[in-house]
């Protein structure tokens, strides 16, 4: 039956993909990929020969109508991102919403998401948490941090290596240098690292340590 499949892909280790995800990728008519070059590596590794179509933040508004038409005409489509679950700080939301509007079935498979292992690894409460993803680069960044200042739940951020120290410095301003945080990088890979401590301690640590790969920052909630 024609539908849209949301298929999570490994965030690093290629073994972290489900049997169901592999079967789905083999059976659909074509695959929407955030970066076809990146996704082709995964498909090649598992000997899956399927047509890849680029679907990313720069073209998703233009491609959605054609995708909807293809599904309505009987084709099944899988959506993947470069890593993790599509729609979580990656393209996917607009297409899912449009499918729902057009009474097209959407099936989201369970699978890899970077913030879950980082959250559990942090040692902070996991029963209640706030996922913020990437902070705005410029406008609205400080407003958002001020809003989160009194948040008592564990807070999750995504960040890139070259902005980490700037972000941690801003955390000091709004959360205080003694707030405990955890920074995870290269999750599921050989050089996976989870560094825990106060914001001040992690600023000192990352001032002298080279960073590579996308980061997940877990901030302990404010104490009442």
Q: Kindly write down the DSSP assignment for every residue of 98-162, as one continuous string.
A: HHHHTT--EEEPP---THHHHHHHHTS--SSEEEEEEPPSSTTHHHHHHHHTT--SEEEEEE-GG
- pLDDT > 90: percent of the chain: 91
Q: What integer is the mean pLDDT of 6-23?
A: 96
Question: Residue 1 pLDDT more than 70?
Answer: no
Q: What is the mean pLDDT of the chain?
A: 95
Return the DSSP state at 32.
E
Q: What integer is the mean pLDDT of 6-26?
A: 97
Element (H, E) at 197: strand 193-198
- Domain spans of the chain, in order of start: 4-108, 115-219
- Specify the fold of 4-108: Cobalt-precorrin-4 Transmethylase; domain 1 (3.40.1010)
> What is the pLDDT, as a whole number, of residue 30?
97
- pLDDT > 70: percent of the chain: 100
| pLDDT confidence tier of residue 224, bands split at 50, 70 and 90 | confident
Compute the C-alpha angle 177/211/36, nearest 5°: 125
Q: 115-219, which class in CATH?
A: alpha beta
């Amino acid at each position: 039956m024609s539908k849209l499949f949301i298929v999570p892909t490994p965030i690093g280790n290629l073994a972290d993909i489900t049997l169901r995800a592999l079967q789905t990728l083999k059976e659909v008519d074509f695959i929407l990929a955030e970066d076809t070059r990146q996704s082709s590596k995964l498909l090649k590794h598992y000997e899956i020969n399927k047509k890849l179509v680029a679907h990313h933040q720069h073209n998703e508004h233009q491609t959605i109508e054609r995708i909807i038409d293809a599904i309505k005409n009987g084709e099944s489509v899988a959506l993947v991102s470069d890593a993790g679950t599509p729609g979580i700080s990656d393209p996917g939301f607009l297409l899912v919403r449009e499918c729902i509007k057009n009474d097209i079935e959407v099936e989201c498979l369970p699978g890899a998401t970077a913030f879950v292992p980082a959250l559990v690894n942090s040692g902070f409460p996991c029963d209640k948490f706030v996922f913020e993803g990437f902070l705005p680069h410029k406008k609205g960044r400080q407003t958002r941090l001020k809003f989160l200042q009194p948040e008592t739940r564990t807070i999750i951020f995504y960040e890139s290596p070259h902005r980490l120290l700037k972000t941690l410095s801003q955390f000091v301003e709004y959360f205080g240098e003694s707030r405990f945080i955890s920074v995870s990088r290269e999750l599921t890979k050989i050089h996976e690292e989870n560094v825990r401590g106060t914001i001040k301690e992690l600023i000192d640590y990352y001032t002298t340590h080279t960073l590579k790969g996308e980061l997940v920052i877990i901030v302990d909630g404010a104490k009442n």
